[in-house]
Amino acid sequence: MKLIRLLASASTFVMVTALATTNAFAQNSDKAITASLSQKLNLDIISIADSPVPGLKQVFTNRGLFYVSDNGEFFLQARVYNITQGVEDETENALKSVRLEGVERFKDSAIEFKADKEKYVINVFTDTTCGYCRKLHNEMDQLNGLGITVRYLAWPRAGINSKVYDDTVSIWCSQDPHQAITDAKAGKPVNDAKCKNQVAEQFKFGQQIGVSGTPNIIMPDGSVVPGYQPAQALALALKDLS
């Protein structure tokens, strides 16, 4: 009996030691990958996780989602599909989670046009100089009437060092952001205003999840409508998701 207890203790020690060694290796591997990608590709690494594909890590960066081999030698910009049961887009599933976490983080700094009888919430990256963003905004009463709450996130297409960015900050800092963004999208001049804001953070988040144009509509399940859709078409798409 004593021998059995000794063998059991030894087995437990080996398992714990092996697990600790594995975890330490994984942590060191992640650190090495982070350092390599930062130095060689000038990427800011936000998170590293195992991917659905053995031998590949899933790397979320300031420029989007990528994959890298466990040894850090190979870097891929790709879509991963699981074909065991149908065709499942694993890359899109990962991005959906990232998008939803991000829009939740910016919920209090979005400019929200709330529906009285809310059924759905969409988050829209917008630029006041974008023609299709203006077209979507002109349908705000219709969207709200269909039970669709719209939360605007800032995505000045010209980048952070631009007049559009400065105007966007002024809109978010206005005493009445709803009227300010409505006026701007009608082509009226933007009055200067300054305050603590998250316009830059919202723009950078858009870059992280691959936003390349506006309007970019994030649906309640984290999927994306990359462009303008009429209010009725959005309502039908939202209904299909529910």
Q: Which of 99, 134, 151, 157 is catalytic?
A: 157
Q: Which of 130, 134, 151, 167 is catalytic?
A: 130
Rounded to an integer, what is the distance from CA 128 to the centroid of its chain?
Answer: 21
Q: Residue 5 carries which side chain, given as an amino acid letter?
A: R
Alpha helices in 42-155 (DSSP H): 90-105, 131-137, 140-145
Active-site residue, 134 included? no
**173 annotated active-site:** no
Q: Establish whether 195 is a catalytic residue.
A: no
Considering 99, 127, 134, 167, which one is annotated as catalytic? 127
Q: Is 6 exposed, middle or buried (0-12, 13-18, 19+ CB in 10 A)?
A: exposed
Q: Does the annotation mark 157 as catalytic? A: yes
Strand partners of residue 59: 48, 66
Of 124, 115, 82, the residue nearest 225 (C-alpha): 124
SS3 label, residue 202: helix
CB-based contacts of 97: which residues, under 8 Å, 6+ apart?
A: 222
30, 133, 134, 167: the active-site residue: 133
Catalytic positions are 127, 130, 133, 157
